Amino acid sequence: MRETNTRTSPKRILNILEEILIDPDNFTAKKIAHKLDIPLATIYRHIDTLCEEKYIVPAGAKKYIPGPKIRNIILNSLPYEPNFTLRRSHLRKLTNDIQETVSLSVPVGTKLVYFDRIEFHWPMQLNLEAGDHLPLHASASGKLYLSFLEEQDATDIFKNIKTPKTAKNTIIEISQFKKELKKINSQKYAFDDEEWFNGMVGVSVPIFNKKNELCFCLSTHTAKSRKNIEDLKKILPSMQVAATNLKKVLLKD
């Protein structure tokens, strides 16, 4: 039977979308129909619409995850969040403390995307801006993100996205990559030792959500002529303190 109260349709769609995004692992159409008191047929119709418009995408039986439109909305809205100034003050302090450019990135598909960045004005640096992508297999933040996935998922991603060496230390062997991810997962930080670009090194630390899932990566990359891996180890405590402070801002209710 066709839904008669069309004025409530937009609100229903938003409510359904919210339920899916809040807890996609436990989502079922029947649960949402019962919780929101919406006919099951209406739930399925709205889900079809959300999929067609790419707000969500299927991810296995009876499971949906955020689609490209939701991701773009999130990325475009982050700079205008209420805590924008406070967030950037922490990034600015870290930049001044370590005297290097620092960045925040979020995972999107098979890449990480920068969504905020504070420059330290050295004559030579990597020119990346908000919205630019980082490779998952060759950057400190990318490896950090993969290290917190299930091993098989991380392995499959690596097999699907790995490319020929882009730098002298780019990891291309799966056995070596697995070993690297285990080490990163254990120590809770990652280095890029000339794996993305020759002459560039970097370090990344995680920011976890309330479920202890990695949701942001805080990182810095620098010319090896300015800092080597041992130098990055010395600034690691400052990065970790900043990550703790940023978590309070980024995940503030």
Q: What is the pLDDT of residues 35-47, one digit of tens each?
A: 888 898 998 899 8
Nearby residues of 53 by Cβ (< 8 Å), 6 or more positions away: 69
Residue 116 pLDDT more than 60?
yes
Distance, in Å, from the CA atom of 112 to the CA atom of 218, rounded to the nearest integer, reads 12
Q: At 198, is the pLDDT very low, low, confident or very high (cuts 50, 70, 90)?
A: very high
> Is position 236 within any domain?
yes
In this prediction the pTM is: 0.73
Note whether 116 and 51 are same-domain residues. Answer: no
By DSSP bridging, strand 200-208 and strand 214-223 are antiparallel
Q: What is the mean pLDDT of the chain?
A: 86
Pick the closest to residue 140 from 108, 171, 115 (CA basis). 171
Structure tokens at 199: 């002459």
Pairing of strands 133-135, 111-118: antiparallel
Which domain covers residue 142, as residue numbers? 71-250
Q: Which pairs count as long-range contacts for 172-175, CB under 8 Å and 24+ apart, including other chains? A: none
Query: Does one domain contain both 126 and 11?
Result: no
* pLDDT recorded at residue 8: 53
CB–CB of 208/145 below 8 Å? Answer: no
Which segments of the chain does DSSP mark as H helices, in order? 9-22, 29-36, 40-52, 68-77, 84-98, 140-147, 151-161, 174-187, 229-250
Question: Using 50, 70 and 90 to split pLDDT, how confident is the model at 4?
Answer: very low
Q: Among 43, 66, 89, give the residue marking a domain's end.
A: 66
The yes-or-no verdict on residue 1 having pLDDT over 50 is no
96 and 40 assigned to the same domain: no
Highest mean pLDDT among 110-124, 128-142, 159-173, 178-192: 178-192
pLDDT at 156: 92
Residue 3 pLDDT > 50: no
- Domain assignment present for residue 1? The answer is no
Q: What CATH number has the domain bearing residue 213?
A: 3.30.450.40
Give me the residue label for tokens 């060496």.
165
d(CA 95, CA 77): 23
105: pLDDT strictly greater than 70: yes
Same-domain check for residues 30 and 83: no
pLDDT digits (tens, 9 = 90+) for 61-85: 777 888 888 888 877 777 766 678 8
pLDDT digits (tens, 9 = 90+) for 170-189: 999 999 999 999 999 999 99
> What pLDDT sits at residue 168?
93
In angstroms, rounded to a whole number, what is the distance separating the alpha carbons of residues 48 and 176? 42
Strand-pair partners of 190: 204
